[in-house]
């Protein structure tokens, strides 16, 4: 069976050739892996080509067949595999910094949002406590002065508390009394002003007719008659506002009493709420913040009083009605920086326009602007000083934000809050710099102390008293 033997011999030769190729491929891959690992391996091309399985006995007995043609595979160059790159290293440094800052800002914004929601839920309590802080900052120097003169703490607190709230109550009662006493004159003056404005419009170059003015008046009357329900709801809401105001006033009174009497112990209790590592910094920032708040309230009261006196005198000599109530309104509105002065001045100008005419209103405007310029450039820098200096842009933004969050109370308390935060942040920043400088000086002193014994031991003579000889690598010459 020659054909069958020839076929089996060819198959065995093909299998042997395939096994040889597989061995070569395995040796090449092994050499490349070893090169990637930095190992020394033998050249895969030096591997024996005959490293295959032994031929079966049938091949030895088989007749010589056609020699198998073996193709030489080109040597595969050994390439070092590229190391896998870290995904973080691919991201640019600026983008990583932006991401780090971004998620921290998101956490901070979420915290502020939750805090604002909590404050909005208990806004009445927060505003009452802030008002108590402002009143306490105004009255506490009087309590301290009485205590220095030997008055007991309880008696001094009671005297200042009662006197302060009596004065504030008298001021409020005086404003209401003056307004109610002059409301009839103001109404008649307002009616005369409206008639004068109507006559001016009829003879003005705008060509306004009497029918058009009557149509505007009828529209206003119809709007009032159709919105009776809304006006009633507004009246009920006004009653609610009055009740909330009385509740907040009582809370502010009780808070002021306890702050005047036991403010130091309350501050120590607040400090114990913070971690121990932060207590030292807060303990130093607290008195400075309180001093800033005291200077702000005291300076604001003095500036507002000066504004009210000078503007009130100007209004009085210009024969504007209700000069004294307008002066008190100017005094109260001056506690809202920038915005309050503009609003109170506008009220005075409108009253002068309605009651005395355009020329008197123009003169009142000149008086208001002159007093406000003196206040902004002379009084505030001289009275408040650098302790509570806040940039005008920060004042405007803080007043706007405070009014949006909590109305008039937020507008009044926004600027002192910004001034206190400015003082606290500045103190903590300076304290951190001082601590870092002190630590650096301590480390330098310790390193100098460690280097001093080493230099001293290097300069001391040996214990046997013989002077040290300089070390030399050369051997002394032998004396023959």
For 139, phi and psi rounded to 5 degrees? -95, -20
CB 257 within 8 A of CB 129: no
Residues 301 and 364 occupy one common structural domain: yes
Residues 55 and 109 occupy one common structural domain: no
Residues 154 and 268 occupy one common structural domain: yes
Q: Per the domain annotation, does 224 fall within a domain?
A: no
Sequence-separated (6 or more) residues with CB below 8 Å from residue 140: 259, 260, 263, 294
Predicted confidence at residue 106, as pLDDT, reads 93
Residues 41 and 177 occupy one common structural domain: no
What's the rounded Cα separation, in Å, for the pair 150 and 357?
Answer: 57
Structural domain span for residue 139: 96-182+237-273
Residues 168 and 242 occupy one common structural domain: yes
Q: Per the domain annotation, does 268 fall within a domain?
A: yes
Q: Per the domain annotation, does 194 fall within a domain?
A: no
**pLDDT tens digit at each of 480 positions of the chain:** 445 556 667 777 777 777 777 778 778 877 877 776 654 444 444 444 444 444 444 444 444 444 544 555 555 555 555 556 677 677 788 888 888 889 999 999 999 888 888 877 888 888 889 889 989 988 988 998 998 888 898 899 999 999 988 988 888 788 778 777 777 766 676 666 667 767 776 776 666 677 776 777 667 666 655 655 554 555 556 567 778 888 888 999 999 999 999 888 898 888 888 888 888 888 888 888 888 888 888 888 888 888 888 888 988 888 887 788 788 888 888 887 777 777 888 888 888 887 777 888 889 899 888 888 887 777 777 776 665 677 777 877 888 888 887 777 788 888 888 888 888 888 888 888 888 888 888 888 888 877 776 665 655 555 554 444 444 444 444 433
Q: Per the domain annotation, does 201 fall within a domain?
A: no
Q: Per the domain annotation, does 371 fall within a domain?
A: yes
Residues 19 and 150 occupy one common structural domain: no
What does each C-alpha distance from 249 to 40, 89, 245, 404, 416 come to in angstroms?
A: 89, 61, 6, 21, 20
What does each C-alpha distance from 435 to 23, 85, 320 come to in angstroms?
A: 71, 41, 61
Predicted confidence at residue 383, as pLDDT, reads 72
Domain count of the chain?
Answer: 3
Q: Per the domain annotation, does 205 fall within a domain?
A: no
Residues 242 and 361 occupy one common structural domain: no
Predicted confidence at residue 354, as pLDDT, reads 76
Predicted confidence at residue 48, as pLDDT, reads 45
Residues 241 and 333 occupy one common structural domain: no
Residues 161 and 252 occupy one common structural domain: yes
Residues 298 and 267 occupy one common structural domain: no
Predicted confidence at residue 409, as pLDDT, reads 77
In terms of pTM, does the model score above 0.85? no
Predicted confidence at residue 386, as pLDDT, reads 60
Residues 126 and 37 occupy one common structural domain: no
Predicted confidence at residue 56, as pLDDT, reads 46
Domain end marker among 438, 455, 471: 438
Predicted confidence at residue 159, as pLDDT, reads 92
Q: Per the domain annotation, does 215 fall within a domain?
A: no
Q: Per the domain annotation, does 278 fall within a domain?
A: no
Residues 265 and 293 occupy one common structural domain: no
What's the rounded Cα separation, in Å, for the pair 228 and 258?
Answer: 45
Predicted confidence at residue 379, as pLDDT, reads 73
């Amino acid at each position: 069976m020659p054909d069958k033997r020839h076929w089996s011999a060819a198959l065995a030769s093909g299998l042997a050739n395939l096994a040889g190729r597989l061995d070569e491929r395995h040796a090449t891959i092994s050499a490349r892996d070893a090169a990637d690992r930095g190992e020394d391996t033998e050249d895969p091309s030096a591997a024996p080509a005959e490293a295959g399985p032994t031929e079966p006995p049938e091949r030895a007995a088989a007749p010589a067949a056609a020699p198998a043609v073996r193709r030489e595979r080109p040597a595969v160059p050994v390439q070092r595999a590229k190391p896998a790159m870290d995904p973080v290293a691919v991201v640019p440094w600026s983008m990583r910094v932006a991401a780090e800052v971004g998620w921290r800002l998101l956490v901070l914004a979420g915290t502020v949002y939750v805090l604002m929601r909590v404050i909005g839920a208990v806004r009445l309590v927060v505003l009452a406590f802030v008002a108590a802080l402002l009143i306490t900052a105004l009255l506490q120097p009087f309590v301290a002065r009485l205590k220095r003169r030997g008055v007991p703490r309880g008696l001094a607190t009671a005297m200042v508390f009662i006197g302060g709230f009596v004065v504030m109550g008298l001021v409020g009662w005086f404003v209401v009394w003056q307004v109610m006493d002059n409301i009839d004159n103001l109404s008649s003056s307002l009616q005369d002003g409206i008639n004068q404005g109507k006559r001016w419009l009829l003879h003005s170059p705008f060509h306004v007719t009497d029918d058009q003015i009557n149509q505007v008046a009828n529209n206003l009357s119809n709007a009032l008659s159709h919105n009776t329900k809304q006006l009633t709801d507004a009246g009920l809401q006004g009653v609610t506002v009055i009740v909330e105001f009385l509740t907040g006033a009582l809370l502010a009174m009780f808070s002021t009493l306890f702050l005047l009497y036991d403010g130091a112990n309350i501050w120590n209790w607040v400090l114990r709420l913070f971690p121990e590592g932060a207590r030292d910094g807060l303990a130093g920032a607290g008195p400075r913040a309180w001093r800033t708040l005291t200077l702000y309230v005291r300076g604001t009261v003095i500036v507002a009083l000066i504004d009210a006196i000078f503007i009130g005198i100007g209004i009085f000599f210009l024969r504007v009605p209700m000069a004294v109530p307008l002066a008190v309104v100017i005094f109260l509105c001056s506690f809202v920086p920038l915005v309050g002065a503009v609003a109170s001045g506008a009220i005075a100008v409108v009253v002068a326009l309605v009651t005395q005419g355009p020329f008197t209103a123009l003169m009142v405007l000149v008086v208001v602007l002159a007093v406000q310029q003196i206040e902004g450039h002379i009084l505030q820098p001289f009275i408040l000083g650098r302790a509570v200096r806040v940039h005008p842009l920060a004042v405007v933004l803080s007043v706007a934000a405070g009014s949006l969050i909590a109305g008039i109370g937020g507008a009044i308390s926004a600027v002192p809050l910004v001034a206190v935060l400015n003082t606290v942040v500045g103190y903590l920043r300076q304290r951190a710099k001082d601590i870092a400088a002190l630590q650096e000086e301590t480390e330098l002193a310790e390193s100098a102390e460690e280097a001093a014994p080493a230099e001293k031991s290097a300069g001391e003579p040996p214990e046997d008293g013989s002077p040290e000889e300089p070390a030399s690598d050369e051997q002394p010459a032998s004396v023959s």
